[in-house]
Amino acid sequence: MSSNMSDKKWDSVLRSMDRREFIRTSVGAGLAMFAPRFASAQSGKPYKLGLLLPVTGTGANYADGAIKAVMNATAEINSRGGFLGKHLIEVNYRDTHTKPDVAAREARDVINRENVQTVVGTYSSACAMAIQEIIHEQKILHLAATSNSSKIVNENYTPYTYQFCPNSRMQSGSVVVAVAEMIKKNGWKSYATIGQDYEWGRQTQSGFVEALGKASSSVELKKELWFKLGETQFASYISALMAAKPDFVYGAIAGKDNRTFIQQAKAQGMFKRISYPGGLISVTELQQQRKSIPRGMIGLARAPFFAHLDQPLMQKYIKMHRAKHGEDAYPTDWAVMHYDAIYGLEQAINKAGSIATEAIKTALKGATIDTCRGRATFRDCNNQLNIPAGYVGAVKDHPDYPFPIYDLDTMIIVKAEDVWVPTCGDVQKLQKKRA
């Protein structure tokens, strides 16, 4: 691997990762699924998995890596004969268009028509919550690997959903840990927020404001701005933020909108005057904006591979990913979380010794599993995995990678238990809605 890799070559890596590799991976997964079927006389009935992710809309930018991760992981498991060595995995993929109505329609269809036993996905908490209504009614397992509104495991809790990513409350809390330190250090007095006007954006922003209010009560919220999903022109918002003259801005922005906002805010000079700590800067942003992303900017990631290079499962996954997608390809946060979800499911099936949904659900309850982010345990009262809540760090070039990563010397990794809803009693109060 070369740190001086040319931009053109890197662009071709990114491009080849989505179209050609996706097709190759899909075909590979398909072949891997069918090959052992003829090889083994012991084959049991296939295990049907529904994969609901958007390849259209603001979430499409993240779904590519996630789809590849699921295809690669299932192909690898199928090459061993499938779950329990005899149940080949069949992946039924559906595009949610990042729209809750489409997500709900596709979830219902994939459950009723394809008889899937588990639904993996989706991007956008609003979509995930729409799916939850259906999986709860149909008693189907739901592995939420990306959508992370805290409502998914609290207010909208169902025992059929297992959360593999840090929820929005945990994420906001981890940014607060870092920002509170910066407030002390820099003497900041005020801030403004900007967020996507939908479930996740609102939850993330309110979680941040609430947690920051407790951690640094003297800092004043001067302005809140909300924009519709898919916004293309941020100039007016950026001017309004700069006019409010806050010391820092907190952004609850993800997906394509995040890239557009950072690109336009940089060109409009916002980062010269106002700090922007804790905005989502996952491996996707680091790769795609490798040239333009301001070095030194403090970002938040959900599951960056570079934070867990010591973990055996992460090492195995990176090796697999690079073998399939090229020496310079590294898995995104979204890929890591989906990879963990598939292997988490496999570990539960091995523990249960069965592919029956209720047996897997029971095996997952409070289970400790191996993940790319280390060993982690599902919280008994809401099925939230206690993986790190957030990774906050400064963007910095690194000689080993063709894109910047976080400064590993100063990166803060916040523990789930430090920032999630403190007690199970508190969680149960929030869960009253469905009860």
Partner 1 sequence: MELDLNLVLSQLLAGVSRAMVLFLLASGLSLIFGVMNILNFAHATMWLLGGYITFSLYEGMGGEGPLLLMIAIIGGTIVMAALGALTERFLIRRMYDRELPEQLLLTFALLLIVGDIIKIIWGVEDRSVYLDIEALEVGGTFINPYYFVIIAVGIAVAAGLWWFLQKTRYGRIVRAAVYNRDMVSALGIRIPLIYMGVFALGVAIAGFAAGVFLPLMPMALGVDIDLIVQCFAVVVIGGFGSILGTFVGSLLVGVVYAFSILIWPDGALAVVFLIVVAVLMWRPWGLFGTELRY
The only residue of 84, 180, 244, 320 in contact with partner 1, by rule CB under 8 A: 244
CB of 157 to partner 1, least distance (A): 30
> Considering the complex, what minimum distance in angstroms separates the CB of residue 257 from partner 1?
9
Which backbone phi and psi does 226 adopt, to 5 degrees? -130, 140
The rounded distance, in Å, linking the Cα atoms of 222 and 199 is 22
Does position 98 interact with partner 1 (CB under 8 A)? The reply is yes
Angle at 273 between CA 301 and CA 397, to 5 degrees: 40
Q: Which stretch binds partner 1 (CB under 8 A): 78-86, 155-163, 220-228, 384-392?
A: 220-228
Query: What span, in angstroms and rounded, lies between the C-alpha atoms of 75 and 68?
Result: 10
Q: Output 55 or 421, the one with its CB closest to partner 1.
A: 55
**Residues in contact with 177: Cβ distance below 8 Å, sequence separation at least 6, in sequence order:** 215, 392, 412, 414, 418, 419
Q: DSSP for 258-307?
A: HHHHHHHHHHTTHHHHSB-TTEE--HHHHHHTTTTSPTT-EEEESS-GGG
CA 55 vs CA 98, 108, 242: distances in Å: 8, 19, 34
Among 372, 367, 370, 404, which Cα is nearest to 384's? 367
| Interacting positions 245-304 with partner 1 (CB under 8 A) | 256, 259-260, 263-264, 266-270, 272-273, 288-289, 291-292
Of the pair 58, 158, the CB lying nearest partner 1 is at 58
Cis peptide before 74 (omega within 30 of 0): no
Q: Which of residues 63-82 bind partner 1 (CB under 8 A)?
A: 63-64
Count the residues of the shown chain that bind partner 1, applying the rule CB under 8 A: 52
Rank residues 8 and 113 by Cβ distance to partner 1 and give the closer one: 8
| Least spacing, CB of residue 389 vs partner 1, in Å | 27
Q: Please give the Cα distance from 215 to 179 (Å, whole number).
A: 9
178/262 with CB nearer partner 1 = 262
> Quick check: 237 binds partner 1 (CB under 8 A)?
yes
Shortest Å distance, C-beta 56 to partner 1? 5
265 or 427: CB nearest partner 1: 265
Nearest Cα to 90, choosing from 162, 132, 34? Answer: 34
Distance in Å, CB of 61 to partner 1, minimum? 5
Closest by alpha carbon to 67, among 363, 257, 324? 324
Least distance to partner 1 from the beta carbon of 333, Å? 15
Q: Smallest distance, Å, CB 233 to partner 1? A: 5
Restricting to residues 119-158, name those near partner 1 by CB under 8 A.
none
Contact call for residue 56 and partner 1 (CB under 8 A): yes
With contact defined as beta carbons under 8 Å apart, do 378 and 274 qualify?
Answer: no
Nearest to 347 by CA among 312, 307, 376, 316: 376
Stretch that binds partner 1, among 8-16, 174-182, 303-311, 348-356 (CB under 8 A): 8-16
Task: In whole angstroms, give the CA distance from residue 17 to residue 69.
Answer: 12
| Smallest distance from partner 1 to CB 242, Å | 7
Question: Measuring CA to CA, which residue among 39, 116, 10, 115 is closest to residue 70?
Answer: 116
Instruction: Tell whether residue 213 is a contact of partner 1 (CB under 8 A).
Output: no
For partner 1, the binding residue among 13, 51, 52, 55 (CB under 8 A) is: 55
Q: State the Cα–Cα distance between residues 162 and 150, nearest whole angstrom.
A: 12
* Three-class secondary structure of residue 247 per DSSP: coil
Applying CB under 8 A, does 27 fall inside the site for partner 1? no
- Tell me if 232 contacts partner 1 by CB under 8 A: yes
Residue 247 or 346: which CB sits closer to partner 1? Answer: 247
225 binds partner 1 (CB under 8 A): yes
Which stretches of the chain bind partner 1, using CB under 8 A? 7-8, 11, 14-15, 17-19, 22, 55-58, 60-61, 63-64, 97-98, 224-226, 228, 230-233, 235-240, 242-244, 256, 259-260, 263-264, 266-270, 272-273, 288-289, 291-292
